């Protein structure tokens, strides 16, 4: 056999490989022939005959999700964990679908004249999943456990420290929180250090939730695997990385939920594809799929919902690090970028250009744009006025990511800074662990950052991120005038005056260009027609109890 | 031989200590730590320092490593930072089991089809079919799973709805015939990952078998057998086949270790709760104890499998003597 024949055989082999694949593909396509329209009919809709086979009777809602870091309310500090915790547990107060703070385990509450003492009356029909009635002592021991040193909660200091005696408990110098008083079985009195209007909002966060202390004490490591909560759903099954199954708590004090079972598929994969294949009832839409979903002719379009989210992305400056210790440089950088166009082009308009620090639906939000507007001339003037004009040090922007190039929008900003200001900004991407370590050590000049609201009060972002003495102020920003406004807002009793103070604070932050707000996030989801009452709130709130299924 | 095995096993703890200490130091000298990652956006440095102390992350690296070894020898690999309240063992073993099941089935198919194909190619040596078979396999070999999986999903799940898009539900479903006879049938979640994992695998096995078989065909004993007038089919099955499979033992041995490392892309794209994805995520979140445990377990299996391969070799091939000066 000659060499030519051999090469011919190899070529034939490769050809056969191709034929195998292409042929296989087309064969299946041909076989499925009629499947075309049948397929699009069953898309998501599932009201058609086929989809309603097993799912109809079981009353089972199928969602995508990921493993929570913890189901212990006192330890959770992330939205992923909170998603499940708010359904399994509850606290004295909660947020309803309009984000109003309403009583939950509490039936009612009274506030003292000095606005420092809250007396909560518990509901007579509030029970743990095991049938035990919720008592005032459960409230006290839950919060004390959250604040205990041994538990090592990273959120307790932020959420409970307004309560008198909580700091001592957190520091390990007290064995109880003196400001929580059990008056009788159904009455608990909480005293806070100063009249703080946002205190009730903080109680809606999992750190302040009620747990079954006996259960947690008897099995401190593993009690959250079968948590005895008080929420609308019970944890029925949690297989790591596979699924979480919640079962309706028919004795729930705010009314039994309508969906019997909620299954979260945790293993990932393409959730939208699984939605289209009728394996999930709700799925998020990513930037890769958004054009397809927005297409009027696509069956998914009717099922598409988009709502705002309490979350802001911004560029943060190390405000004590050259050259960003000069307000003129910060302003110049803000004036030189056209966020609106970049948001439109790079994210297909999936994100809303930020109009300030406070996000839509938050108290104090106004729709007018308060951020620095794109103005190349003004940007150049600001830079020229800075003390770094002509001797600009090297600048690096750090963001979370796995490549060397930088995300698309960051690249666009860097391009604009170069074109408008003539400043070269280097980009550095690092993984989350490295990034957080660098941010916390104050090592970064300039970084992509953001904040997700934990409770719908301006204090949660303005005070926490910008007060000079806040432990979460990671840009080392210090402005005495701002501190003054924020401290007055903390104790201002008149809601309108208080919101006004926060709006002034926001203006100050934006005028100083402490950060450059970029976008407000939005939820983009598709929801199966059979799912009624699904809400996409701007933050994590208990929502499964509003849902019903019609199939 | 027993002496040899014991001598080799005595090295095992030394190997594991070296591997674990290296992994331990690399992880800790890297920037960031699991407490920071787990805390998310509320990172009060004072609180975090306290949690670090509580979780044994303070003190020198030798102290920390000492504590880890002390626990590890008693089978306690620590607790995850990303899954509070779960021990590392509870987290990794179920995932390793999922990956191992999938990997094992894939191995069976790869070797079950790859070996006959390789022998066939060797047998057809000199005809155009030999390079033909091998080049088809090489073509398949060049298909990475990330290229194979999306069209498979589109075709079998989205377009035709024959198979599920992803997920995992064990290897076998049991069908009961008349409620009495149990028939195990492969679970539908299995097909797409199996195709993706096995397609590239055939080529390696088939080529190895083909090369060794060709060598064996030129051996004296094959010529002798043919000279004695033994039929060609018997020469192939009795003389060529067993001798061609010797190097396969090594490949199978290490492939078996590989399956507990998981398949990152396949698991991620298809939503299979396996160890590959877990390890990747553990590195990202600096989940020290999870990273360490998976590394040490794989190292352990590797050393053991190495020994097993040697023993099997000496057992099936009388020419190989364990403990002889040439082998150690």
Contact list, A444 vs chain B (CB under 8 Å): none
- In this complex, the residue of A69, A157, A222 whose CB is nearest that of residue B38 is A69
Q: Per-residue pLDDT tens for B67-111?
A: 899 988 888 888 888 888 888 998 899 899 999 999 999 999 999
d(CA A319, CA A321): 6
Chain B: closest CA distance from residue A377 (Å)? 36
Cβ <8 Å between A154 and B271: no
More confident residue, B64 or B55: B64
Cβ <8 Å between B126 and A276: no
User: For position A26, what pLDDT does the model report?
Assistant: 61
d(CA A199, CA A111): 11
Burial class of residue A536 in the structure, from the number of CB atoms within 10 Å of its CB (0-12 exposed, 13-18 middle, 19+ buried): middle
∠ Cα A150 A151 A154 (to 5°):
120
Can you tell me the mean pLDDT for A21-34? 57
Best mutation target, A238, A267, A274, A401, to test chain B (most B CBs within 10 A): A267
Q: Which residues pair with A180 in a beta bridge?
A: A190
User: For position A122, what pLDDT does the model report?
Assistant: 96
- Residue A480, H or E segment: helix A480-491
Question: Could you tell me the pLDDT band of residue B273, with boundaries at 50, 70 and 90?
Answer: confident
Count of Cβ atoms closer than 10 Å to residue A440 Cβ: 17
Task: Determine contact, residues A157/A170, Cβ cutoff 8 Å.
Answer: yes
Q: Which residues pair with A353 in a beta bridge?
A: A519
Give the up-direction half-sphere exposure of residue A425: CA atoms within 13 A in the CB hemisphere.
Answer: 26
Please state the three-class secondary structure of A333-351 as a single string: HHHCCCHHHHHHHHCCCCC
Question: Could you tell me the pLDDT band of residue A216, with boundaries at 50, 70 and 90?
Answer: very high
Can you tell me the mean pLDDT for A297-320? 93
B271 touches chain A (CB under 8 A): yes
Nearest residue of chain B to residue A474 (CA atoms): B43
- In this complex, the residue of A150, A433, A471 whose CB is nearest that of residue B37 is A433
Coil, strand or helix at B188: helix
User: For position A116, what pLDDT does the model report?
Assistant: 93
B142 touches chain A (CB under 8 A): no
B284 touches chain A (CB under 8 A): yes
User: For position A270, what pLDDT does the model report?
Assistant: 81
Cβ <8 Å between A78 and B40: yes
Contact list, B136 vs chain A (CB under 8 Å): 13-14, 16-17, 20
Structure token digits, residue A34: 């009629």
Q: Give just the sign of the alpha carbon dihedral B264, B269, B274, B277.
A: positive
Cβ <8 Å between B43 and A472: yes
User: For position A21, what pLDDT does the model report?
Assistant: 65
- DSSP assignments along A482-524, one per residue: HHHHHHHHHH--SHHHHHHHHHHHHHHHHHTTSEEEEEEEEEE
Long-range contact list for B85-91, CB < 8 A, 24+ apart?
B85/A70, B85/A72, B85/A221, B85/A222, B85/A223, B85/A224, B85/A225, B86/A240, B88/B289, B88/B290, B88/B293, B89/B293, B90/A240, B91/A240, B91/B278, B91/B290
User: For position A544, what pLDDT does the model report?
Assistant: 95
Can you tell me the mean pLDDT for B217-225? 87
Span of A186-200, A332-346, B135-149 with lowest mean pLDDT: B135-149
Give the up-direction half-sphere exposure of residue A479: CA atoms within 13 A in the CB hemisphere.
Answer: 24
pLDDT at A87 over 90: yes
Contact list, A31 vs chain B (CB under 8 Å): 160
pLDDT at A207 over 90: yes
Chain B: closest CA distance from residue A153 (Å)? 8
pLDDT at A345 over 60: yes
Structure token digits, residue A493: 């009793």
d(CA A210, CA A204): 11
Nearest residue of chain A to residue B88 (CA atoms): A240
Show Cβ contacts of residue B231 under 8 Å, excluding neighbours closer than 6 positions.
none
User: For position A450, what pLDDT does the model report?
Assistant: 92
Best mutation target, A37, A172, A436, A469, to test chain B (most B CBs within 10 A): A436
User: For position A3, what pLDDT does the model report?
Assistant: 56
A435 touches chain B (CB under 8 A): yes
pLDDT at A307 over 50: yes
Show Cβ contacts of residue A313 under 8 Å, excluding neighbours closer than 6 positions.
A351, A354, A448, A449, A450, A517, A518, A519, A521
Interface of B with A in 212-231 (CB under 8 A): none
pLDDT at A11 over 80: no
Coil, strand or helix at A187: strand
Can you tell me the mean pLDDT for A207-232? 93
Length of chain A: 551
Structure token digits, residue A480: 């005495």
pLDDT at A99 over 80: yes
B141 touches chain A (CB under 8 A): no
* Rounded percentage of chain A residues whose pLDDT exceeds 70: 89
More confident residue, B134 or A512: A512
Structure token digits, residue A5: 């024949």
Best mutation target, A5, A13, A220, to test chain B (most B CBs within 10 A): A13
pLDDT at B323 over 80: no
Closest CA to A207 of A25, A45, A81: A81
Question: Could you tell me the pLDDT band of residue A1, with boundaries at 50, 70 and 90?
Answer: very low
Closest CA to A320 of A444, A222, A177, A454: A444
Pairing outcome for strands A395-400 and A446-452 = parallel
Cβ <8 Å between A35 and B269: no
Q: Per-residue pLDDT tens for A37-53?
A: 333 333 333 333 333 33
Chain B: closest CA distance from residue A337 (Å)? 26
User: For position B328, what pLDDT does the model report?
Assistant: 37
Chain B: closest CA distance from residue A19 (Å)? 10
Best mutation target, A268, A311, A451, to test chain B (most B CBs within 10 A): A268
User: For position B51, what pLDDT does the model report?
Assistant: 82
Contact list, A153 vs chain B (CB under 8 Å): 47
Q: Per-residue pLDDT tens for A232-268?
A: 999 999 988 889 999 999 999 999 999 999 999 987 7
Cβ <8 Å between A9 and B95: no
Task: Determine contact, residues A263/A62, Cβ cutoff 8 Å.
Answer: yes
User: For position A46, what pLDDT does the model report?
Assistant: 35
Q: Per-residue pLDDT tens for B230-266?
A: 888 888 888 888 888 888 888 888 888 888 888 888 8
Contact list, A77 vs chain B (CB under 8 Å): 38-42
Cβ <8 Å between B32 and A436: yes
ipTM for this model: 0.73
Please state the three-class secondary structure of A53-106 as a single string: CCHHHHCEEEEECCCCCCCCCCCCCCHHHHHHHHHHCECCEEECCCCCEEECCE
User: For position A77, what pLDDT does the model report?
Assistant: 83
- DSSP assignments along A216-247, one per residue: HHHSTTTGGGS----SSEEEEEEETTTEEEEE
Structure token digits, residue B304: 């053991």
Pairing outcome for strands A117-122 and A187-191 = antiparallel
User: For position A45, what pLDDT does the model report?
Assistant: 36
Task: Determine contact, residues A525/A284, Cβ cutoff 8 Å.
Answer: yes
Contact list, B147 vs chain A (CB under 8 Å): none
Strand order in the sheet with A187-191: A106-111, A117-122, A187-191, A180-184
More confident residue, B307 or A14: B307
């Amino acid at each position: 056999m000659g060499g030519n024949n051999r090469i011919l055989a190899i070529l034939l082999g490769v050809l056969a490989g191709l034929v195998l694949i292409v042929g296989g593909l087309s064969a299946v396509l041909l076989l499925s022939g009629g499947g075309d329209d049948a397929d699009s009919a069953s898309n998501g809709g599932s009201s058609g005959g086929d989809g309603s086979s097993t799912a109809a009777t079981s009353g089972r809602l199928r969602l995508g999700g990921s493993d929570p870091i913890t189901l212990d309310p006192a330890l959770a500090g992330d939205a992923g964990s909170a998603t499940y915790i708010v359904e399994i547990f509850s606290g004295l107060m909660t947020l309803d679908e309009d984000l109003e703070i309403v009583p939950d385990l509490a039936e009612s509450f009274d506030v003292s004249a000095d606005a420092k003492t809250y007396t909560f009356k518990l509901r007579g029909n509030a029970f743990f999943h095991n049938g035990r009635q919720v008592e005032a002592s459960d409230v006290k021991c839950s919060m004390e456990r959250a604040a205990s040193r041994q538990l090592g909660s990273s959120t307790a200091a932020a959420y409970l420290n307004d309560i008198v005696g909580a700091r001592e408990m957190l520091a390990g110098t007290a064995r109880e929180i003196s400001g929580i008083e059990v008056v009788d079985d159904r009455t608990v009195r909480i005293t806070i250090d100063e009249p703080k209007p946002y205190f009730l909002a903080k109680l809606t966060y999992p750190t302040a939730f009620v747990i079954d202390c006996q259960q947690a004490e008897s099995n401190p490591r593993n009690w959250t695997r079968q948590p005895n909560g008080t929420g609308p759903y019970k944890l029925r099954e949690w297989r790591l990385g596979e699924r979480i199954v919640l079962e309706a708590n028919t004795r729930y004090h705010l009314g039994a939920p309508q969906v019997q079972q909620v299954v979260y598929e945790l293993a990932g994969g393409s959730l939208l594809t699984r939605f289209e294949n009728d394996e999930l009832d709700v799925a998020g839409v990513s930037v890769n799929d958004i054009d397809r979903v927005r297409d009027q002719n696509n069956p998914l379009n009717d099922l598409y919902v988009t709502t705002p989210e309490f979350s802001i992305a911004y560029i943060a400056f190390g405000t004590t690090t050259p050259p960003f210790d000069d307000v003129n440089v910060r302003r110049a950088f803000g004036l030189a970028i056209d966020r609106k166009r970049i948001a439109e082009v790079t994210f297909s308009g999936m994100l809303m250009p930020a109009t300030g620090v406070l996000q839509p639906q938050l108290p104090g939000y106004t729709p007018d744009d308060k951020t620095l507007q794109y103005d190349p001339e003004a940007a150049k003037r600001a830079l020229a006025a800075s003390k770094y004009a002509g001797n600009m040090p090297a600048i690096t922007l750090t963001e979370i990511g796995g490549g060397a190039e930088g995300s698309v929008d960051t690249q666009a900003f860097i391009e604009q800074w170069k074109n408008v200001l003539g400043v070269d900004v280097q980009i550095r991407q690092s993984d989350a662990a490295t990034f957080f370590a660098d941010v916390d050590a104050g090592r970064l000049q300039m970084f992509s950052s953001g904040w997700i609201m934990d409770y719908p009060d301006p204090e949660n972002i303005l005070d926490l991120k910008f007060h000079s003495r806040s432990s979460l102020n990671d840009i080392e920003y210090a402005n005495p005038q701002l501190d003054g406004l924020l401290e007055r807002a903390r104790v201002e009793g008149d809601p309108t005056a208080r919101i006004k103070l926060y709006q002034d604070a926001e203006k100050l932050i934006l005028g100083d260009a402490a950060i450059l707000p970029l976008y407000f996030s939005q939820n983009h989801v598709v929801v199966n027609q059979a799912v009624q009452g699904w809400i996409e709130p701007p933050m994590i709130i208990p929502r499964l109890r509003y849902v019903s299924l019609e199939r | 031989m027993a002496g040899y095995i014991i001598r080799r096993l005595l090295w095992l703890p030394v190997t594991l200590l070296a591997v674990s200490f290296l992994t331990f130091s690399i992880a800790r000298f890297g920037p960031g730590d699991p407490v920071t990652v787990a805390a998310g956006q509320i990172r009060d440095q004072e609180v975090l320092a306290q949690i670090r102390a509580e979780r044994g992350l303070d003190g020198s690296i030798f102290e920390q490593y000492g504590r880890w070894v002390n626990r590890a020898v008693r089978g306690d690999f620590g607790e995850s930072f990303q899954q509070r309240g779960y021990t590392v063992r509870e987290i990794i073993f179920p995932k390793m089991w999922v990956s191992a099941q999938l990997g094992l089935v894939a191995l069976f198919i790869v070797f079950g089809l790859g070996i006959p194909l390789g022998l066939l190619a060797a047998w057809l040596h000199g005809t155009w079919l030999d390079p033909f078979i091998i080049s088809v396999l090489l073509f398949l070999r060049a298909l990475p799973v990330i290229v194979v999986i999306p069209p498979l999903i589109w075709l079998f799940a989205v377009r035709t709805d024959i198979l599920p898009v992803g997920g995992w539900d064990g290897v076998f479903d049991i069908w009961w015939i008349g409620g009495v006879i149990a028939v195990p049938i492969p679970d539908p979640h299995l097909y797409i990952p199996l195709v993706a994992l096995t397609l590239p695998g055939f080529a390696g096995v088939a080529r190895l078998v083909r090369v060794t078989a060709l060598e064996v065909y030129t051996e004296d004993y094959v010529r002798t057998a043919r000279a004695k007038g033994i039929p060609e089919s018997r020469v192939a099955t009795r003389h060529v086949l067993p001798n061609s499979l010797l190097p396969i033992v090594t490949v199978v041995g290490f492939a078996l270790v590989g399956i507990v490392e998981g398949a990152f892309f396949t698991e991620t794209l298809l939503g299979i709760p396996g160890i590959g994805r877990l390890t990747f995520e553990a590195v990202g979140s600096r989940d020290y104890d999870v990273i360490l445990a998976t590394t040490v377990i794989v190292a352990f299996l590797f050393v053991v499998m190495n020994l097993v391969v040697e023993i099997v070799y000496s057992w099936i091939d009388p020419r190989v003597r364990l403990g002889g000066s040439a082998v150690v």
